[in-house]
Amino acid sequence: MAKETTAAAVPTKDRLLKALTGNLGTYLIVVAFFVIIEAMIAGKSITSAFQGQLVPICVYVSAALSLNLVVGVSGELSLGHAGFMSVGAFSGAILSSVLMDAVPDPALRLLLCIITGGIFGAIFGAIVGVPVMRLSGDYLAIVTLAFGEIIKNLLNNLYVGHDAAGLHFSMTDTTSLGMTNGTVVVNGPQGAVGITKISTFVAGTLLVLFTLFVVLNLMKSRSGRAIMAVRDNKIAAEAVGINVTKYRLMAFVVAAALAGMAGALYAMNFSSVVPSRFDYNTSILILVYVVLGGIGSMRGSVIAAAILTVLPETLRFMADYRMLIYAVVLIAVMVLPNIPAVASLMEKVKEAMPWNKRTTAEEGGAQ
């Protein structure tokens, strides 16, 4: 009640500012980004290299958001997130090939593939999550890493084809699929082959918005508060009657499902996808987006993932030095704020900013 009265008392300008710095602002950033890019495409002022990055940007943003649900909201360090993306990518690719004739509309087929990717991501999230939730901390991290590597290893040996009789699976080679006149969809280390590219930037943006919607609303819900309570103090949460395992698992499975959807979108953007594309390096890359954007901050994840996906391309003019620069930037961003001299300087700059002056004045007045 008290909150509402204050909200009414605040001038419209401030309320608008509050909304923009809140969740609404995050949605607006995504929409604004989408509109600007679409305008640039219409105006042909965009390089083809950058245009090729658009769907991956959306994929990594979604993946970072979903990982942030595990790392930031649930407080567990997961190093196998790319594994769920790869499950989604491969199940999506298989379904896309099967439905090629049955569902001719590419947008509908993409939707079905993304949903399937999400379902399989959730199934694997549950398979991995149930045993993993017995552990915590660094042990949980290493086990998720192990699961990610196992998924990659198994997919490296998976052969899938389909013909009139239905789907065929094998773990040895394509000939053992026993098809006479079928299509090979997944060909071991070569990965999912012969994918029709149906991912679009529009679909990517919609997926990002959907992921944001799910994550932000989960955070605001009763379950989300339970998840955060478990993160902040497991024992206290348990003492007030929160089922710790249930809520940790919920965050993990929802994140795996969202990662699976992102993976399906990723696969549909290329003609083939190899399992080693989703190794632990990719998991770590997504974790870097989450940490650089700010653990627990969804807006941070969106911005960090978008910028860092584009950054290596933008640095291309530096040729061989670009990954080196990337590494140095990564270390600097992490270390510099922790050096006292730099930290005090940053504090001074922050205080000098006009919008902070006002808040400090207000705080002073309230006392």
Q: Which residues bind another protein (CB under 8 A)?
A: 71, 77, 131, 134-135, 138-139, 141-143, 145-147, 149-150, 153-154, 156-157, 234-235, 280, 284, 287-288, 291-292, 295, 320-321, 323-324, 326-328, 330-331, 334-335, 338-339
The β-bridge partners of 186 are 160, 192
Least Cβ distance, residue 5 to another protein (angstroms):
37
Backbone φ and ψ for 201, nearest 5 degrees, come out as -65, -35
Q: Between 108 and 342, name the residue whose CB sits nearer to another protein.
A: 342
Q: Give the C-alpha separation, 335 to 353, whole Å.
A: 23
Q: Which of residues 243 and 281 has its CB atom nearest to another protein in the complex?
A: 281
306 contacts 57 by C-beta, under 8 angstroms: yes
Closest CB 146 distance from another protein, rounded Å: 4
Q: How far is the CB of 34 from another protein (least distance, A)?
A: 29
Give the count of beta carbons closer than 10 Å to the beta carbon of residue 64. Answer: 34
Token couple for 209: 């918005």
Complete DSSP assignment for 79-146? S-HHHHHHHHHHHHHHHHHHTTTT---HHHHHHHHHHHHHHHHHHHHHHHHHHHTT--HHHHHHHHHH
Least spacing, CB of residue 327 vs another protein, in Å:
4
Of 134 and 358, which has the nearer Cβ to another protein? Answer: 134
Q: In this structure, which amino acid lies at residue 13?
A: K
Cβ proximity to another protein, 120 vs 147, nearer residue: 147
Helix (H) or strand (E) holding 163: strand 159-163
In the bound complex, what is the minimum distance in angstroms from residue 251's beta carbon to another protein? Answer: 16
SS3 296: coil
In the bound state with another protein, the residue whose beta carbon lies nearer, of 79 and 185, is 79
What minimum distance in Å lies between the beta carbon of 341 and another protein? Answer: 10
Residue 138 vs 232, nearer CB to another protein: 138
